[in-house]
Amino acid sequence: VAPRNLGFSEVAIELTALARRAHARGWLLGTSGNLSATVSLEPLRLAITPTGVDKGQLAPEQILLMDASGLVIRGQGKPTAEAAIHVTIARRRRAGAIVHTHSTWANLLSDLHGRDGGIGIQGYEMLKGLKGVVTHQHEEWLPIVANSQEWPAEAIGLASLLDENPHIHGFLIERHGLYTWGENVEEAGRHMEVLEFLLEVRGRTLSLMSPG
């Protein structure tokens, strides 16, 4: 996975368009969620959405450039308190872009399956939308990690999770939301749509079958 050598301005436009699409689907309500793109891996430079902004009205001018410590190099505003998660994913996965959504189904299923440590999703054609998956006969493991307000302290644990699960395309934070990533903004956006779709299918299937 090698991030394209896009400039900051270009990825800022791409992140903005993706954020607006996800907000329209109800996955980034109330200034929740955040998105980033890797402008440079060495030294690490991430274009990232600022905290506390309405993703339905996001403009490219609002996107920040930050370094690995979360220091803002360009732009006005504060990066998200979850910047450490983005940095960890960008490094361990050499990701070109990272998307973090707050959807109803991600909240509901991470709540329900939190004790199991994750959700296994298998047998759906839609899984082939995930990079490297070539058949529906694939089981995607979506780990669920406990929520925290101290992500820098959790970075080592997250790095281990990513290293121990080299094939995952995302993970859930309990009663919080989904993290997924890709080689570039387009692939991260595709993984977001694929995983949100699969979470909705699983959630609705459980609703239907529930106390059977």
Residues that bind a copy of itself (CB under 8 A): 21, 25-26, 29-32, 54, 56, 102, 104-105, 107-108, 111-112, 123-126, 129, 134-136, 147, 149, 173, 175-177, 186, 189-191, 193-194, 196-197, 200-201, 203-212
Q: Which is nearer to a copy of itself, 65 or 195 (CB)?
A: 195
Q: How far is the CB of 73 from a copy of itself (least distance, A)?
A: 26
Q: Which is nearer to a copy of itself, 2 or 209 (CB)?
A: 209
Q: How far is the CB of 98 from a copy of itself (least distance, A)?
A: 17
Q: How far is the CB of 124 from a copy of itself (least distance, A)?
A: 5
Q: How far is the CB of 42 from a copy of itself (least distance, A)?
A: 30
Q: Which is nearer to a copy of itself, 10 or 186 (CB)?
A: 186
Q: Which is nearer to a copy of itself, 45 or 102 (CB)?
A: 102
Please give, one letter per residue, the 3-state secondary structure of the chain.
CCCCCCCHHHHHHHHHHHHHHHHHCCCCHHHCCEEEEEEECCCCEEEECECCCCCCCCCHHHCEEEECCCCEEECCCCECCCHHHHHHHHHHHCCCEEEEECCHHHHHHHHHCHHHCEEEEECCHHHHHCCCCCCCCCEEEEEEECCCCCHHHHHHHHHHHHHHCCCCCEEEECCCEEEEEECCHHHHHHHHHHHHHHHHHHHHHHHHHCCC
Q: Which is nearer to a copy of itself, 8 or 105 (CB)?
A: 105
